[in-house]
Structure 1
Amino acid sequence: MAGVVKAPSGSRTPRASRTVIPAGYGRAARRAVRVTAAAGGGFYVFLYGFGSTTAATYALFAPIALGGLSRIPGTGRQRAAVMLRAAPWSWLLVTLGTYLAVRTWTAVAGMLVVGFALAFLAVCGPRPAGAAPGLQLLYILPCFPPYDPGSLGERLGGAAAGLGLLLLAEALLFPEAPGPSYADRVAAAARLAGRCARALAAPPYALSARDVRAAHAAARELRPSQAAEADRPAGPGLRDRALAHAGLAARAVLSRLALLGPPPGPGAGQGELDAVARVTEATALRLTRGPADDPRPQEDLGRVRTALAAEPAGPAVGAAVLRRRASLLEIVDATLALSMAASLAVRGRAAGAVVSPGRFWYAGLPAPRLWWHRLAGNAGLRSVHFQNAVRIGLALAAARLVAGVDTLPHGFWALLATLTLTRTTVAETRVTVRQALAGTLVGALAAAGLLIAAGADTTVYAVILPFVMLGAFTVGPVKGVGWAQGLFTVVVSLAFAQLAHETWRIAEFRLLEVLAGSAIGAVFGLLAWPRGAHDELRRSGAALIRAAAEIVVATVAAVVVGGVREHRATAPGHRSLQRGLIFAESAFAQFQSEPEGAGRGPGVLRVGGGRAEPDWQAALMMGHHTLWGSDRLLVPPPPPAGPAGPVVAPPLGPRAAAELLRLGDRVAGRMLLVSAAVDPGGDTPEAPVPPRDPAPSPSDPRDAPPAYYVATSWLTALLTDLERITGTEREARGGVA
């Protein structure tokens, strides 16, 4: 066997020589066995056991559609769960295709609507996006001759049997152990945060280098790109949104703990850090063991937060103590957000009463509203999912029109080629089509040779087909589209030779229809937004950072002049930033749902002379930090006894005002620099972003009230967030990337 290295008798095989099958081939082979067992089993039973060519066709193509063409992420059991939920939709699509196919115009209109709707499923997360191509094929299959609504029962029976066999194969054959879920990653980060908080609360009141490195690694693991595609919290539902929010908050807690300096005196802040440790540990338990938890740690931390936000007792409180209180307030605030988000992720709507309505705007909305919010937010020309859905819908409708007008004998192959070969960029489409046509030509020649040699002996085809299917679904996903198209050409030729006793010309038809379908896909790929999600994410990210800069300027100005602070859900004037966060989170979810590498260009930032892809989760984190910090300064928490009247904040003294305005201008200016570098539509879409200037931290003016220290702590943390976005943060400085 190629790739196997045998050692001489009696010797020990070196470790480097033991690799037999690359991991990609191993995964593909296991999936190929599942698809072949399901598709071949149903095909042979219906064709040779019951003599039904119609049911055999659907029993063959239903597993190929959802098991071979679809790329549903996750383990076998996770994929089986997705397929089970998709089964009723599969039968509906077969029914629609059967009845709409009787006239060309209804078939074309149905293809346009169904093609758009199924492609638009990508807004719902990676799993629906992965299942969509297979569902497209199940609608395409009945759209061609024979136009026989009377055979609908056989069609549905064959599709149901094929899907049932595929579900069993996915669940039982080669079971895969699931990796750590995103909730597990957040729980691990929360446990680490608790350990760090306890270390900071006891002598020597500092984190070890090992703890800082662990925090750095845990924060990196919370980036959704590091999680398996099936486990990324990218869906529109309450739990997915809350879990994504928990990941952001966990990164914030780790970064703030790593930046916390030594206390001004022994034991200063020990009680607050102990409360943080208790809440993070309780959060970790909640995420791993379920909703049964003790609410008291979170309530205690809420009281700690209220005390930290209040004026300190005594006129002689030093600047070091006030600075420490401000840093602790940042940590406590992020910890409360982590705990509340975790409660929502675990308990769902039942946890809505214990969360802040400003931060967790989605907590009180019913599921249909959340789904509508995601769908409506993407129903526009600026949405990548909308663009892709329009492209696919129009291309499939055009291919169906051509197939109907020219009465192609196997027209669904043209639509299948349009569906599978259309790409989001012109260059990628050109390369894909060239490889696909070359592979199809070779496969057609091989299939024609087999059909000529075997003639009408269907026994030969029945024996060969399973082995060719195994090879097609093993080699194709690893070697690329050329191999996949070539081997699949042999598969369908052998299958149709048993169904209708086809001659070698079926291979010729296959080649011509793949050529027609790929040409249609290439034309629409050229005309209809040939881009991926990258630009849309850059655009929404830039808008988010600009809105954050506006909030920074407005908040600093309000703190400087003082005035009335009212108890409300969130500070006034934050709607634009909240809207920017919603759209940026939606774009980031789209970006995660795309296949790896789709539409992703080189890094867009030039930071200190280099190029880097922005840390998009850090950009979302910065947006939340901007809102939370502004609320801390402008929306005082109500006292534990209940609502109270407005709070009058004193204005800052001249020196404190000047220091705070200077720092606010630095932060807002750097935000605008980063926004200009990210924005693909700006005048300088690749503007260089200089490293953070080495200007000293603000001094401690004697005329500064506590709000000054809260504001400077917030602004300094935002500078760190900006460094994290641009990739200039250094672990040696104590930051967590």
Structure 2
Amino acid sequence: MAATGFYAFRYGFGRPVAATYALFTVVALGGLARIPGTGRQRAAVMTRLLPVCWVLVAAGTYLSVRTWSAVVGMLVVGFTLAFAAVGGPRPAGAAPGLQLLYILPSFPPYDPGSLGDRLIGTTTGLALFVAAEALLFREPAAPTYRERVARAAVVAERCAAKLAAHRDALSGTDVLAAQEASQSLRSLSVPEAERPAGPGVRARALAHTGLATRTLLGRLAELPALPHQGPAPEVTAVLRAVARTATATASCLRAGTSPAARQKELTAARADLSAVSAGPPATPAGAFLPPAVLRCHAAVLEIADAALAMGAAADLAVRGRHASVELQPGRFWYATTWAPVLWWHRLRGHAGRRSVFFQNAVRIALALTAARLVAGVDTLPHGFWAMLATLTLTRTTMGETWSTIRLALVGTLAGALLSVGILITVGSDTTVYAVLLPLWMLLGFTVGPVRGVGWAQGLFTVLVALVFAQLAPPTWRLAEVRVLNVLIGSAIGAVFGVLAWPRGGHEELRRTAADLLRRAAEIVVATSASVACGTVSPPLSRAPHHRCLQRAIVLAESAYAQVQSEPTPPFGGSGRRVRPPALDWQATLIAGHHTLWGSARLLEPPLTPLNPAAALSAGMLGERVAGRMLLVSAALDPGDDTPVAATPLIDPALPGLTAEPPGAPRRYYATVAWLDSLMTDLTRITYAVPWHPSARTTADTS
């Protein structure tokens, strides 16, 4: 399609400017952009980007007449497009291609009068590429995230129905099915195009639905056999209502039917079990129900809470602000918030030096600005290529940047030598170049991405020689200029790779995860103390008390997203080559969400103080779990270079967690169930976390 637009304008209409923009628009959006999804999904995204392409071409055309305006424009446009990655995988994938559409008109000829031809060429190239993506690349679409969650909800329904019918723990086959369904919702198992990563209401709610479904599956799999003594009908009623809610959730995600009726049924069954578990008024619950029954009730109430969150989030994901299910304001704070405000929340959450999206935006904006300044001040021939090299070769870590630059320079040099041979042999016969161009484009765009950056740069060097040989009288010095530009662009990328966060997202992920667990530990201690004394302190009485932890979760999620695209760092903090620890980073994120949800649930009024023994036990357990969180946090923090041993950081079972004070009420067992789930998350995080001896000392004395 790139060759079609180029030939139509160059030889059919005699408009070389339009031909150039038609070709490079396809190169930008088809070669540089990495928009995830199927051909039709990519075509839909690029169609919506057409007005953005017009704005970028027009801005680049008018700002290029002066070097200072072009440089300032590059700084603003470069940062804005790179920072737009906070909107999800599609904006992130489109950003490099859009950057090129501003860079292309920023160089000679400085001719605002040719803006019409430039826009015509851009539009034609985009239209041809959209048609090719939609019609020629009809690869089968992967299951959507909604379908994945619906399948997981069906598995949850089967598990809950079996527990209600047989009152025995799930079989190994059922547990394995629950685990597989849960794993299918992890971001690593979901194609980028299907991940609900946007800032809007529906995307947030769909991500919330997946998280709640994973929580429900985990709690169903861990539920022990139900005791046969005590008020079993209420427990069975809750589990049956959970099964029906799971079915309604799957139906909502697939057909759009409302789960409101099943949500009300589950809410009523949950309230009945909660009332039975709490016991008659003014009578200690422990005097009537044995501890085993109360533990069972607490676990089943946790399951009901996860199912209610799943159904409500699913309805919100499908219906948006018109959801029919009653929502909890604190948990679904975004439900009634307008889209611009949600975007502002997302942007503000990443507007800091700890955000990897902010780091990437600053790095690429400064590098492109420096390249544009050098090209403008020194009147670098074909300075566009220098900026293109800076854009394509700058990486998020210094080691990866240097490795990429070495391969790119070797490939460019090889391509330049081949270009010189072609230009000297063919001379000014444009017919040969016209015949070679589509064949070479096919080779470059198929072989280059597969064989690596060296091959890509070499093939692209020959490609640009074939293109410009048809636009102006060819000379072998064109290849020389290409090598010079790539060398300058690579040097600029390397400099800013050193100056701006050269270690990439690996250490940033460790830092943000450590901060997340520190924030979570504070809430665990405060919540346990509030449950023990039966009062809510002012910071815990309002929804904003969770904002610090929510922001920590946002930053950790963004760092986790970047790390998935980076290679594993080869060196430890002391410079020695070490094996990276096996960490379940998503368990860290789930621990943060569990802390938020559990705290809000336990502090729902009315609150009554625990008896002295239960209050003392709840406070001690909360402090122990918080201490383990701080211990894990200290081990994850990259600031400590103490030699570490590859041993588990915590024991799978926390001593004292199963201790049962006499006469403990239902709220005590609900608190213990919450703390136990947090301990499970911590155990998953630290399966093979290196243990810092100094971190243990700090945590044990806190």
Partner of 1:580: 549
1:670 matched to which residue of 2? 628
Match of 2:294 in 1: 322
Matched, 1:474 2:450: no
Q: How does 1:227-242 map to 2 (within 5 A)?
A: 227-242=190-205
Indicate the SS of the match to 2:438. Answer: helix
Alpha-carbon spacing, 1:73–1:499, altered in 2? closer, same or farther (3 Å): same
1:34 aligns with none
Q: Deviations over 1:498-523 (max 9, x none)?
A: 11122121111111111111111111
In the TM superposition, 1:530-609 aligns within 5 A as 530-562=502-534, 564=535, 571-572=540-541, 575-589=544-558, 591-592=560-561, 596-597=565-566
Alignment of 1:490-505 (within 5 A): 490-505=462-477
**3-state SS, counterpart of residue 142 of structure 2:** coil
Q: Please name the residue that 1:383 is paired with.
A: 355
The code of the aligned residue for 2:108 comes to P
2:588 is aligned, of 590, 600, 619, to 619
Matching of residues 510-529 of structure 1 within 5 Å = 510-529=482-501
| Contact 1:399/1:414 (8 A) holds in 2 | yes
2-structure distance, mates of 1:470, 1:582: 46
Contact 2:242–2:307 under 8 Å retained in 1: yes
Quick one: distance in 2 between partners of 1:260 and 1:142?
A: 63
Contact 1:663–1:698 (CA under 8 A) maintained in structure 2:
no
> Compared with structure 1, are the counterparts of its residues 155 and 335 closer, same or farther at alpha carbon in structure 2 (3 Å cutoff)?
same
Of the three residues 230, 233, 244, the one matched with 1:278 is 244
Match of 1:15 in 2: none
- CA gap of 1:681–1:342, structure 2 versus 1, over 3 A, is farther
> What's the offset of the Cα at 1:363?
1.3
Task: Report the AA paired with residue 425 of structure 1.
Answer: T
Q: Deviations over 1:175-209 (max 9, x none)?
A: 11111122222111111111000000112532111
- Secondary structure of 2:165's counterpart equals coil
Report if aligned partners of 1:63, 1:163 keep a CA contact under 8 Å in 2: yes
Instruction: Note if contact 1:542-1:676 (Cα within 8 Å) is conserved in structure 2.
Output: yes
Structure 1 SS opposite 2:469:
helix
For 2:617, the equivalent position in structure 1 comes to 659
Other-structure match for 1:708: 668
Residues 424 and 598, structure 1, Cα contact 8 Å, conserved in 2: no
**Contact 1:559/1:652, CA 8 A, preserved across alignment:** no
Structure 1 pair 511–603 and aligned structure 2 pair: CA distance change class (3 A): closer
Once the two structures are superposed, residues 146-185 of structure 1 have per-residue CA deviations (whole angstroms, 9 ceiling, x without a partner) of 1111111011001100000000000010311111122222
The match for 1:421 is 393
Number of the residue aligned with 1:74: 37
Structure-2 separation of matches of 1:613 and 1:581:
25
Q: Which amino acid aligns with 2:264?
A: E
* One-letter amino acid of the structure 1 residue matched with residue 470 of structure 2: Q
Change (3 A) 1:119 1:600: farther
Deviations 1:301-357 (CA, angstroms, capped at 9, x unpaired) = 122233333323485222222111111110001111111111111111112862111
Helix, strand or coil at the partner of 1:201: helix
Aligned-residue RMSD, C-alpha: 2.4
Instruction: Answer whether contact 2:610 2:668 (CA < 8 A) is retained.
Output: no
Higher relative contact order (CA 8 A, sep 6+): 1
Provide the TM-score with structure 2 as the length reference. Answer: 0.91
- Is residue 180 of structure 1 aligned with residue 180 of structure 2? no
- Asked if the contact 1:603/1:614 (under 8 Å) is kept, the reply is no
- 1:243 and 1:90 map into 2 onto residues whose CA distance is 30
Residue 330 of structure 2, aligned match among 358, 363, 372: 358
Within-5 A mapping of 1:297-308: 297-308=262-273
> What are the equivalent positions in structure 2 for 1:98-117 lying under 5 Å apart?
98-117=61-80
Following superposition, the deviation at residue 718 of structure 1 comes to 1.4
- 1:531, 1:599 within 8 Å by CA — same for their partners in 2? no
- Structure 2 unmatched runs, 5+: 690-702
Provide the rounded CA distance (Å) in 1 between the counterparts of 2:131 and 2:562: 26
- How far apart, in 1, do the equivalents of 2:83 and 2:387 lie? 18
Q: Tell me which amino acid in the other structure corresponds to 2:638.
A: P
Q: How many residues align?
A: 673
**1:282 corresponds to which letter in structure 2?**
A
Instruction: Give the letter for the 2:95 counterpart.
Output: A
Distance change in 2, residues 1:378/1:684 (3 Å): farther
Query: For residues 344 and 658 of structure 2, what CA distance do their matches in structure 1 show?
Result: 46
| Map of 2:680 onto structure 1 | 720
Equivalent residues of 1:678, 1:686 under 8 A apart: no
Is 1:691 equivalent to 2:660 in the alignment? Answer: no
| Contact 1:193–1:254 (8 Å) recurs in 2 | yes
Unaligned runs of 5+ in 1: 1-37, 637-646, 730-737
- How far 1:435 sits from its partner (Å)? 0.8
Deviation at 1:415, TM superposition (A): 0.7
Describe the shift of the 1:610–1:454 C-alpha distance in structure 2 as closer, same or farther (beyond 3 A): closer
- Mapping for residues 145-224 of structure 1, pairs under 5 Å: 145-203=108-166, 205-224=168-187
Asked if structure 2 preserves the Cα contact closer than 8 Å seen for 1:126 and 1:594, the reply is: no
Shift of 1:666: 2.5
Q: 2:263, 2:325 within 8 Å by CA — same for their partners in 1?
A: no
Separation of aligned partners in 2, 1:444 and 1:295: 66
Distance in 2 between residues matched to 1:594 and 1:149, nearest whole Å:
42
Aligned 8 A contact 1:116 1:392 in 2? yes
Q: What residue number does 2:693 align with?
A: none
Cα distance in 1 for partners of 2:353, 2:536 equals 41
**Given the superposition, is the C-alpha separation of residues 650 and 384 from structure 1 closer, same or farther in structure 2, using an over 3 Å criterion?**
closer
Distance 1:204 1:693, change over 3 A: closer
Distance in 2 of aligned mates of 1:60 and 1:343: 45
Question: For 1:396-411, what aligned pairs fall within 5 Å after superposition?
Answer: 396-411=368-383
Question: Per the alignment, do residues 218 and 53 of structure 1 end up closer, same or farther by CA in structure 2, a change over 3 Å counting?
Answer: same
Q: Which amino acid aligns with 1:588?
A: E
- Does structure 1 conserve the Cα–Cα contact (< 8 Å) formed by 2:349 and 2:554? no
1:649 maps to 2:641: no
Is 1:372 paired with 2:344?
A: yes
Structure 1 pair 682/346, CA: closer, same or farther in 2 (3 Å)?
farther
Give CA deviations for 1:280-310 in whole Å, capped at 9, x if unaligned.
11111111222x3241100111222333333
Cα pair distance change 1:407/1:697, threshold 3 Å: closer
- Would you say the 8 A contact 2:610–2:664 is kept in 1? no
Q: Does the CA contact (< 8 Å) of 1:447 and 1:490 recur in 2?
A: yes
Mapped pair 1:293 → 2:258: yes
In structure 2, the residue matched to 1:451 is 423
Secondary structure in 1 matching 2:418:
helix
Distance 1:581 1:614, change over 3 A: farther
> Which of 41, 47, 62 is the aligned partner of 1:84?
47
Tell me how far apart the structure 1 counterparts of residues 570 and 608 of structure 2 sit (CA, whole Å): 48
Distance change >3 Å, CA 475–CA 594, structure 1 → 2: farther
Contact 1:539-1:678 within 8 A present in 2 as well = yes
Name 1:412's counterpart in structure 2. 384
| TM-score (norm: length of structure 1) | 0.87
- Cα distance change, pair 611–704 in 1 and its aligned pair in 2 (3 A): farther
